[in-house]
């Protein structure tokens, strides 16, 4: 177990402190929640998810939202995993939040699909959250019409964001990867704790006398993220700059702004200059060749996205090959991942996907 303490008592009726107000302001600034929304909390029992659950419970009346908690038992840690599930059940019960637990077979999926345990666990966790949302939607039926959305809240915080940015940088990424996680992403997933650090979370739940459980696998450095969390970021903070994580986040925000601006400009170019073809989008080569390479890249990505091409299998070389196509002549042909292709007409490069 983590810090000693209890979860009983109507702590959510107390006057809001600076920490809670910071999260409330972030929720409003990023427009994460609206009155009438229902929120599914990804409750693992760790300090971060305990904080998320407690904070949203405290401000739920003010925001006019309803909460539900889901715990996913990965079945990897035997009695420890069962302990976590029981802790979450009791914690949700004390906060009067409807609770459900589901079990998934992480090891089986990892072996069947050639995934790491970490990747398989993440995939199954989100599948369980989406499935729970569907069940909730069906169960509520007409009662939810006109009353807001059903969202999924995860407990990613500022330190997680710094780790993500570092991990993307080390793997090789563009501005979008350096932007880190979005406060709200497609699929109705929100991250209300991105504005606070792990240290602030631990301090807050300590003051509130809240207990939590510790996943022993988080202490192992076999996973890239754990290595960044347990060794690299602490070393950077201690040996280089004690504000290292905060500065990484600031850089991420700048990258997000730059990414958003260039993406908007690329979208405008595509709307004004791109031509729809059967199953594809035609790009004017002469105009694009006059633009900076980073702008051409964004136009290409925007075109692929609008065609519905899955971008997860696109490597840097695929985007580079598409850029080269703009400088090639008539008759040039390029096969791309997932069945996409590019063909050069006299003045146009047509990117298509069927």
Distance CA 256, CA 173 (A): 13
- 204 phi/psi in degrees, rounded to 5: -70, -45
Indicate whether 252 belongs to any domain: no
Indicate whether 186 belongs to any domain: yes
Indicate whether 254 belongs to any domain: no
- Please check whether residues 83 and 192 belong to one and the same domain: yes
User: Mind listing the pLDDT tens digit for each residue in 9-50?
Assistant: 344 445 679 999 999 999 999 999 999 999 999 999 999 999
Indicate whether 263 belongs to any domain: no
Distance of CA 115 to the CA centre of its chain: 19
Total structural domains within the chain: 2
What is residue 6's predicted lDDT score, i.e. its pLDDT? 33
Indicate whether 26 belongs to any domain: yes
- Please check whether residues 230 and 296 belong to one and the same domain: no
- Kindly state the tokens that stand for 186: 């497609």
Q: Look at the pTM and tell me if it is higher than 0.85.
A: no
Indicate whether 19 belongs to any domain: yes
User: Mind listing the pLDDT tens digit for each residue in 258-300?
Assistant: 999 999 999 999 999 999 887 899 999 999 999 999 999 999 9
- Please check whether residues 120 and 228 belong to one and the same domain: yes
Distance of CA 65 to the CA centre of its chain: 21
- Please check whether residues 241 and 286 belong to one and the same domain: no
What is residue 314's predicted lDDT score, i.e. its pLDDT? 81
Cβ(77)–Cβ(215) under 8 Å? Answer: yes
Distance CA 121, CA 110 (A): 8
- Please check whether residues 67 and 163 belong to one and the same domain: yes
Distance CA 103, CA 337 (A): 35
| CATH label of the domain that carries residue 72 | 3.40.50.620
- Please check whether residues 236 and 289 belong to one and the same domain: no
- Please check whether residues 186 and 295 belong to one and the same domain: no
Indicate whether 267 belongs to any domain: no
Indicate whether 255 belongs to any domain: no
- Please check whether residues 225 and 296 belong to one and the same domain: no
Distance CA 276, CA 233 (A): 47
The total of other beta-carbon atoms located within 10 Å of residue 174's CB is 17
- Please check whether residues 304 and 241 belong to one and the same domain: no
Cβ(150)–Cβ(37) under 8 Å? Answer: yes
What is residue 15's predicted lDDT score, i.e. its pLDDT? 60
Domain span at 345? 274-353
**β-bridge partners, 351:** 281, 342
- Please check whether residues 192 and 132 belong to one and the same domain: yes
Question: Which residue is it, tokens 């500022």?
Answer: 158
| CATH label of the domain that carries residue 317 | 3.30.465.60
- Please check whether residues 287 and 235 belong to one and the same domain: no
What is residue 4's predicted lDDT score, i.e. its pLDDT? 34
- Please check whether residues 87 and 223 belong to one and the same domain: yes
Distance CA 87, CA 46 (A): 10
The total of other beta-carbon atoms located within 10 Å of residue 190's CB is 23
List of residues 6+ apart from 127 with CB closer than 8 A = 104
* Residues of the chain where predicted confidence (pLDDT) is lower than 70: 1-15, 142-146, 216-224
What is residue 144's predicted lDDT score, i.e. its pLDDT? 61
Cβ(27)–Cβ(39) under 8 Å? Answer: no
């Amino acid at each position: 177990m983590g810090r000693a303490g209890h979860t009983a008592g109507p702590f959510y009726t107390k006057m809001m402190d600076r920490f809670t107000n910071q999260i409330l302001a972030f929720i409003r600034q990023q427009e994460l929640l609206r009155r009438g929304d229902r929120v599914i909390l990804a409750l693992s029992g760790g300090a971060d998810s305990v904080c998320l659950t407690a904070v949203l419970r405290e401000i739920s009346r003010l925001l006019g939202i309803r909460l539900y908690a889901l715990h996913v038992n990965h079945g990897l840690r035997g009695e420890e995993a069962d302990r976590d599930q029981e802790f979450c059940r009791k914690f949700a019960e004390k906060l009067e939040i409807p609770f459900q637990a589901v079990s998934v077979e992480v090891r089986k999926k990892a072996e069947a699909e050639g995934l790491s345990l970490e990747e398989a666990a993440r995939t199954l966790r989100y599948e369980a959250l989406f499935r729970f949302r569907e069940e909730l939607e069906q169960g509520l039926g007409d009662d939810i019409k006109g009353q807001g959305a059903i969202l999924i809240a995860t407990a990613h915080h500022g330190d997680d964001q710094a780790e993500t940015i570092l991990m993307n940088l080390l793997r090789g990424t563009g501005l979008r990867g350096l932007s880190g996680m979005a406060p709200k992403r497609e699929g109705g997933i929100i991250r209300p704790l991105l504005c606070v650090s792990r240290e602030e979370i631990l301090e807050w739940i300590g003051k509130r006398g809240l207990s939590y459980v510790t996943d022993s696998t988080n202490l192992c450095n076999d996973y890239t993220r754990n290595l960044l969390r347990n060794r690299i970021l602490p070393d950077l903070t201690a040996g280089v700059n004690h504000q290292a994580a905060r500065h990484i986040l600031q850089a991420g925000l700048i990258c997000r702004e730059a990414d958003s601006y260039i993406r908007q400009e690329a979208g405008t170019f595509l709307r004004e200059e791109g031509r729809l073809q059967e199953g594809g989008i035609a790009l004017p080569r002469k105009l694009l060749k006059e633009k900076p390479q980073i702008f051409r890249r964004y136009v290409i990505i925007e075109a692929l996205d609008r065609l519905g091409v899955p971008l997860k299998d696109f490597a840097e070389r695929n985007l580079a090959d598409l850029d080269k196509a703009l400088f090639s002549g008539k008759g040039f042909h390029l096969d791309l991942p997932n069945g996409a292709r590019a063909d050069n007409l006299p003045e146009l490069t047509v990117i298509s996907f069927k």
